[in-house]
Amino acid sequence: MEEKLLALIRLARNRRASDIHFIRRGNSLEISLRQPDGLVQLQQDIFDASLLEYLKYRMGLDLTRLHSPQSGSGALAGTDCRFAFLPAQDMETGVLRLMQADAALHIQDLSSDPAVTEFFYKLAGQTKGLVLFVGPTGSGKTTTLHAILREASLVHDLKCVSLEDPIEIPDPSYVQISIDEDNGLTYERGIEELMRHDPDVICIQEVRTPSAAARLFTAAFTGHFVLATIHAGSGRECLWRLRDLGIGEELIREQLDAVISQRLYPAAEERGVSENKKEVCLHEIIKKPEILHLLDKGVYPPGFRRLEDIVHQAASDGSIRAEDAARDFPR
């Protein structure tokens, strides 16, 4: 069974998958991979329910209480993994997150657009303000954040602290703290604790609750530079999401400096089975003037290049496949 599990991990890594999804019904097991081009179900007859049972054991789950949600972690095929298990009435589901140990951690590797690269280099030298990142799972947000933090720490000698759940890219150049809700270390408490340690830069991997959002803006207001991700489908949607989390419009106007929305696609010429497939990361950057215009008018300013425009231009240039662009942004 170990060989089957390791073969699945290697397949997922070769396809640049960030997660492996499992759904068990009886003795049947459905497996899907979260690839750069979306969630893709494997058409297979090799793996059955026994693989999921073995995975629970390998990830250190308590096998005496499998009727309760659990999480565990471990190394498989040289890859650090985090496993979340959720039982339901007539099925079991699990998600295995593959940590990005081989992710590029240099700003110059994040984008082929010189304007985007220049903007990220400027972010790495900032010591105050608030910048939010949005994008779906597997869009490269974690890699982008860590590249900026690494540059800020090593080049600008800034004290950077990152609050993560889990730590996906270990890096000794700055402080990384893993959320542990079972022992009381939530994002809310973590942000409070971080501010007591006089950091220059604070990174919050996911803002999920109104209280965490409020503390995020407080950290920026008190003179820190704050980077964070938030669940939203686009940069514009991020502004409405902040309102839903209880952040007032005046506070958004005063504190929010930029919103970066990004997508990650397989390069058009690398769609084969090569283990070293290249990827193209595309970014929409909404700066303060665009933020204010969106809050006032509800639409982007005339002439602004939305992420949708950037993605379709990349398809027209042959950088990514047209069907990938059409899937995310139908026209």
Domain termination site, one of 75, 98, 121: 98
Residue 199 near residue 224 (C-beta atoms within 8 A): yes
Q: How many Cβ atoms sit within 10 Å of the Cβ of residue 326?
A: 13
The number of folded domains in the chain is: 2
Picking from 52, 73, 98, the residue at the C-terminal end of a domain is 98
Amino acid 88: pLDDT: 84
The pLDDT tens digits of the residues spanning 168-214 come to 788 878 888 888 777 778 878 888 887 777 899 999 988 888 988 99
Q: Which domain holds residue 30?
A: 2-98
Q: What is the pLDDT along the chain (331 residues), one digit of tens a residue?
A: 888 899 899 898 888 788 999 999 988 999 999 887 788 999 888 889 999 999 999 999 988 887 888 888 888 877 788 899 998 878 999 999 987 655 546 899 899 999 999 999 999 999 999 999 999 888 889 899 999 999 999 899 999 999 888 787 888 788 888 887 777 788 788 888 877 778 999 999 888 889 889 989 999 998 999 999 998 888 999 999 999 999 999 999 999 999 999 999 998 875 443 344 478 999 999 999 999 999 999 999 999 999 999 999 999 999 999 999 999 999 8
Q: Please list the helix, strand and coil fractions of the chain in percent, rounded to the nearest 5, in that order.
A: 35, 30, 35
Same domain, 132 and 94: no
Same domain, 17 and 75: yes
Triad 253, 259, 260: Cα angle to 5°: 170
81 & 120 share domain: no
* Three-state secondary structure call for residue 171: coil
Same-domain check for residues 45 and 160 = no
Q: Could you tell me if 93 and 112 lie in one domain?
A: no
Query: Nearest 10 degrees: CA dihedral of 277, 34, 37, 41?
Result: 110
One DSSP character per residue, 21-69 reads: EEEEETTEEEEEEEETTEEEE---SS--HHHHHHHHHHTT--TT-TTS-
| pTM across the whole model | 0.75
Positive or negative: CA dihedral 121, 124, 128, 132: positive
The verdict on 74 and 111 lying in the same domain is no
CA distance 147 to 123: 11
